[in-house]
Structure 1
Amino acid sequence: MNVAGRGAVVVGGGFIGSAAARALSADGWAVTQITRAGSAPALPNVDRVLIDHRSRAVLNHLAGAKVVVHATGEMLPAYVPDDFAAAYVEQVAPIITLAERAHQVGVGKMLFISSGGTVYGPKAAVPAHEESPTEPNNAYGFLKLQTEHALRFVTACTGMPTLSLRVANPYGPGQRTDRAFGFVSTVFERALRDEEVVIWGDGETTRDFLFIEDLGRAIAAAAAAAPASPVVNIGSGNEVSLNHICSLVEQVTGRRVRRIYQPPRSVDVPRSALAIERARAELSWKPQVTLEDGLRRMLEAR
């Protein structure tokens, strides 16, 4: 879709934020990427601004934008906060402030990158639909869900549309593997380095894995669309076990995955996969890269 001349602001300079900025730029948006990470590699045709999005200075860069994408955060799914009240204020309030500031300067829409792997919790049927029960069993999923609710209230109060994308587990070239996050990328890198991989449980835990370029395309599609729903699942639609990921990595790389099994963790959901019919219907989006092809692309990108 040709959206040349429209401005998009991406908050986040990490794996997902950069994928969003690349995809939006490729779709013809004039993209500004706001990040505190001065070490992040520059992207072609993307203006990068090194500021904290929580500061009032962000107003100068939101003005004139048609869409704002919030794709940053410091908390990981396995994180257990010592002070949950403080974590709530630190994680949720800045996003709501950003939305209110976006409305203040006339931004047309805000997209929030939520978590399809954690907001539904262990009781939801698989695959989880957007109307499935949401009972997260970890702080990460709970705070993502509370942010979604708060953004819907911002929409009710201001009229500015907000859309939460419940994203599956992204993977692909450039993902960090030093944060106990990103299972596919971690297994891939450690197999190539002949290092051990810790698996919590028996390896039959399942996840929905999405190639990063497919996620970027989904964000760009959501920026250009006018979906009727406040939340949309973004995933592959496939339920894949951790053991199967290890086997695929071995097939593609020709290296053995040295698996170390540890007792399961209470913060992990035993099964997870997303129903993606709404994304097809409202965003005209569907994933294009299979797990095997994604792993091959990772090998080629090294």
Structure 2
Amino acid sequence: MNCLVLGGGGFIGTHICEGLLREGHHVRVLGRTQPDKANKLILDNVEWIMGDFSNLETIKKSMMNIDIIFHLVSTTNPKTSNDSPIIDMSSNVIPTLQLLDAAKDQGIKKIIFASSGGTVYGKPSIIPIPETHPTFPTSSYGIHKLTVEKYLHMYFELYGLDYSVMRISNPYGEGQLPDRGQGVVATFLNRSLKNEKIEIWGDGSVIRDYIYISDVVSAAIKLLDYEGKEKIFNIGSGVGKTLIELIEIIEHVANTTLNVNYIGGRKLDVPVNVLDIQRAKKLLLWEPKMSLFEGIERTKLMLK
């Protein structure tokens, strides 16, 4: 298939590009920059279009002769999105609507969207959280992701533009840049290797679901040929770990004791978020393969 990866120069995007190329697909990327550490497979085989996601003419150009679009672009993150919800919505939702209009006009077969299983649900009433759980995000980031999901459904119902949504938990792995507002594993590992202080919001009891990047990619590849009626899939490990437990694993892997500073909690942080991944297991025949311990070991090797 001919695949367009929006945000293909980012952490998730570069890994999805690699996965698509290894499966024999043609890959085109629209992004503002080419990754500094792209491997030879990507550099030699990906068609790069440098441009901004918000530019309609660039979007139209990028999707010429494309079958599938992977929409991985987000201009904000959960930590900063509440600083300016207007910017968050205007820079993410409006460009996506332009994308959907162009996609339906150009006969795109399907859009695969990277949503956020860690933010769209809000405070859960049941753990693990199924896709049918009510959605009450506490961050503008989660609201914009959920809004895009709703527009994808509208364009499917009205125009037949197919889609799939990956509600991804907390992805990590090699190539993830530390200290970017997302990616606690990479940030903690990087600071442990540099013997720098780690700051934690709250008392460290917050529980999260961490998934290794290769498992995210395998789910994305499964969705290429999926034609079932369910459109939304939780993509996580299905296992929760507190920040304290995560620190203990990192200390073991890095063979060090971390310098941790606990500061006041944040209202946007829900106490627990662990995804129910049974739908993806049943319908996509997918399940995560990498344990958190092994994934952190692999990530550490790439950070050195």
- TM-score normalised by structure 1 residue count: 0.94
Alignment of 1:99-138 (within 5 A): 99-138=100-139
Query: Structure 1: which 5+ runs fail to align?
Result: 1-5
User: Matches of residues 33-48 of structure 1 in structure 2 within 5 Å?
Assistant: 33-42=29-38, 43-44=42-43, 45-48=45-48
SS of residue paired to 1:79: helix
Q: Deviations over 1:38-71 (max 9, x none)?
A: 4544424222221123221222221222210011
CA contact (8 A) 1:227 1:283 kept: no
The answer to whether structure 1 residue 273 and structure 2 residue 274 are counterparts is: yes
Aligned residues: 297
- What's the secondary structure of 2:79's corresponding residue? coil
Question: Which stretches of structure 1, 4 residues or more, deviate above 6 A after TM superposition?
Answer: none
SS at match of 1:179: coil
1:149-187 superposed Cα distances (whole Å, 9 cap, x missing partner)? 111111111101111110010011111112232111111
1:201 deviates by 0.7
Answer yes or no: is the 8 Å Cα contact 2:124–2:273 preserved in 1: no
Rounded Cα–Cα distance in structure 2 between residues aligned with 1:23 and 1:206: 30
CA distance in 2, matches of 1:127, 1:94: 33
Q: Which amino acid counterpart does residue 17 of structure 2 have in structure 1?
A: A
- Work out which of the residue numbers 4, 7, 10 in structure 2 matches 1:9: 4
Matched, 1:49 2:49: yes
1:18 aligns with 2:14: yes
Q: Give 1:86 deviation, angstroms.
A: 4.3
Identity of aligned residues (%): 31
Closer/same/farther in 2, CA of residues 82 and 238 from structure 1, 3 Å limit = closer
Alignment match, 2:205: 204
Q: Secondary structure of the residue that 1:9 maps to in structure 2? A: strand
Tell me, yes or no, if the aligned pair for 2:75 and 2:88 is still in contact at 8 Å.
Answer: no
5+ residue gaps, structure 2: none
Distance (Å, rounded) in 1 between the aligned partners of 2:97 and 2:152: 7
Q: What's the secondary structure of 2:80's corresponding residue?
A: coil
CA contact (8 A) 1:202 1:261 kept: yes
* Structure 1 Cα separation of the partners of residues 65 and 279 of structure 2: 30
AA partner of residue 22 (structure 1):
E
Q: Distance in 1 between matches of 2:281 and 2:83?
A: 40
What RMSD in Å do the two structures reach over aligned CA positions? 1.5
Q: Tell me the distance in 2 between the aligned counterparts of 1:273 and 1:155.
A: 29
Q: TM-score normalized by structure 2?
A: 0.93
Q: Deviations over 1:250-286 (max 9, x none)?
A: 1111011111101110011110010111111222211
Structure 1 partner of 2:62: 61
Deviates more, 1:18-27 or 1:112-121: 18-27
Instruction: Name the CA shift for 1:166/1:203 in 2 (closer, same or farther; >3 Å).
Output: same
Map of 1:293 onto structure 2: 294
Asked if 1:257 corresponds to 2:224, the answer is no
For residue 3 of structure 1, what is the aligned residue in structure 2?
none
